[in-house]
Structure 1
Amino acid sequence: MTTETPRRHRKAVIWISVVVAVVVLAVVGVVVATNVYSSSENAKASAAPSVAATREASTIETDDLSGTWTVGGDSEAGYRVHEVLNGSDVTVTGRTDSVSGTATVDGTSITAATITVQVADITTDSDQRDAYFRDSAMDAAAFPEATFELTEPIADAVPSGSDTTTVSAPGKLTLHGVTKDVTAELQVGLSGDGVDVSGSVPVTFSDYGVQAPNLGFVKVDDAGSVEFLVHATPVG
């Protein structure tokens, strides 16, 4: 009897220690997982792209805008999603200036256009979120580019002077190796040495084989949007 009680006491202490260790590890796991995905519950969302917010006085000759235009500097693209992170509603925007492309203009109509975005370069305010987006969600190593290709001409798309036009652009969006028919809503205006085009395309991520994160502490909506503001200049 004199040895049994200490043994039981030691067993109880051991079991309590094991339970405490498991609880601590579980808490640490949640904290680490949260930090892996996002470093902030108040992620800063960029404003929606807008020609009106960026345009400058036009310096190009507008008598004949026909020809090939190239997309480059001062362009950006990315995504906008809603997520619930640790019980808080958060709007997240990712952006990159790794954007390229070409467009063909005939008079005031855009008859062809292709825009390409380097997916791995898209960033938010969190390196951890970006790594998850790049490696787990988008598999950028296998699918490094997202593209939008115009499939029908857009009549009267390019305005004159300081006017801005609002048009719908039917096209094909390729994301995560999957191509879908989409319609982009665009604003177009002459700006500086070229033309600015801003717009967005609504997307359902599962349609492109992309699994929106649902990790317990964070849940991302399956629906979001691809956003862009591109600056194109005439070639030659």
Structure 2
Amino acid sequence: MTSAEVLVQVAELAGPWIYGTFIAEDDAPAAAVSTEDAQAATGSVNGQWIVATGQGSNKTAAGYTVSEILNGARVTVVGTTDRVSGTVSIAEQKMTSAEVLVQVADIATDNSRRDGQFRGNVMDAAAFPTATFTLAAPVDLASVPTDGTAATVPVTGTLTLRDQTRPVSIDVKVLHSGDTLVASGNVPVDWSDYGITPPSLGFVTVDDHGTVDFLVSLTRA
């Protein structure tokens, strides 16, 4: 074997290690409620609320987090969009109804090829344009502080992806700052439960599970 052939073999063997050690990077984690610039609450939580843009660290965003092996390196991928809408009803400090809709075709990462696979083969966004969370049972918000700190409350609902609806139970972090409500959470998902087949294309293999992530900023309707 010539020295050139040895170098080629070394490069082939070391390539994935080099990529994983020096090139591949995890994405930033999905957004979560921040109390950095929070204020004391003004007014009651009761009333009708709608999803708004938000501000600072608490800008509305939703998407997914998944782990994949890319060119031999394990990386965490986070896709997000701010194309989120929805409504929430609260009475007697209990959230009685809520629906949040996410525009799937607008969810993006830092890789256009990955996004093309996600919108096409994975999620078929043309046929199933929205992902939806719907509240299934009232949520007691009496424990949410009014001093600009946050509380975590259990929430049950349904999640719809690709027209497949499944029950979910999650812990949601809630902040009442000024006259704004902010909530965030991560829904664990086995993709097969929703008829979703993660890509396995040789150079990339995506895990069969991940999370659906959301941070919603709410203002009064």
Q: TM-score, normalised by structure 2?
A: 0.82
Query: SS where residue 193 of structure 2 aligns?
Result: helix
Provide closer, same or farther for how the CA distance between residues 180 and 101 of structure 1 changes in structure 2, counting only shifts above 3 A. same
- Cα distance in 2 between the residues matched to 1:209 and 1:194: 36
Distance 2:165 2:37 in 1: 31
Q: 1:110 offset after TM fit, Å?
A: 1.2
Query: Secondary structure in 2 aligned to 1:129?
Result: helix
Equivalent residue of 1:195, what SS?
strand
Specify the alignment match of 2:112 in structure 1: 127
Whole-Å Cα distance in 2 between the matches of residues 87 and 80 of structure 1? 19
Alignment of 1:65 with 2:45, yes or no, is: yes
Deviation of residue 52 (structure 1)? Answer: 2.4
Whichever residue aligns with residue 127 of structure 2, its letter is A
1:72 & 1:135 partners in 2: Cα distance? 28
- Is structure 2 residue 108 aligned with structure 1 residue 137? no
Mapped contact 1:44–1:92 kept (Cα < 8 A): yes
Pick the aligned partner of 1:98 from 83, 90, 115: 83
* Corresponding residue for residue 29 of structure 2: 47
Q: CA deviation at 1:107?
A: 3.1
- CA deviations 1:116-148 (Å, max 9, x no partner) are 000000000011110110011000000000000
For 1:171, the equivalent position in structure 2 comes to: 157
Contact 1:159 1:188 in 2 (8 A): no
The Cα RMSD (Å) is 1.6
Match of 1:79 among 54, 64, 70: 64
1:146 counterpart = 2:146: no
How far 1:193 sits from its partner (Å)?
3.6
1:49 Cα deviation from its structure 2 partner: 2.3
SS of the residue corresponding to residue 135 of structure 1 reads helix
CA 1:193/1:156 → structure 2, altered by over 3 Å: closer, same or farther?
Answer: closer
Q: Helix, strand or coil for the counterpart of 1:130?
A: helix
Asked whether 1:117 is paired with 2:85, we answer no
Deviations along 1:60-82, whole A, 9 cap, x unmatched? 632x3311100121310000000
Residue type matched to 2:205 in 1? K
* Deviation, structure 1 residue 108: 2.3
How many residues end up aligned between the 2 structures? 193
Residue aligned with 1:77, SS: strand
Can you list the C-alpha shifts for 1:12-68, whole angstroms capped at 9, x where unaligned? xxxxxxxxxxxxxxxxxxxxxxxxxxxxx625512232212665324x632x33111
Partner of 1:211: 197
Tell whether 2:155 aligns with 1:155: no
Change (3 A) 1:219 1:73: same
Equivalent position SS for 1:52: coil
1:194-224 superposed Cα distances (whole Å, 9 cap, x missing partner): 1110101000111101100111111100100
Partner SS for 1:51: coil
Alpha-carbon contact 1:100-1:116 (below 8 Å) kept: yes
| CA shift for structure 1 position 109 | 1.8
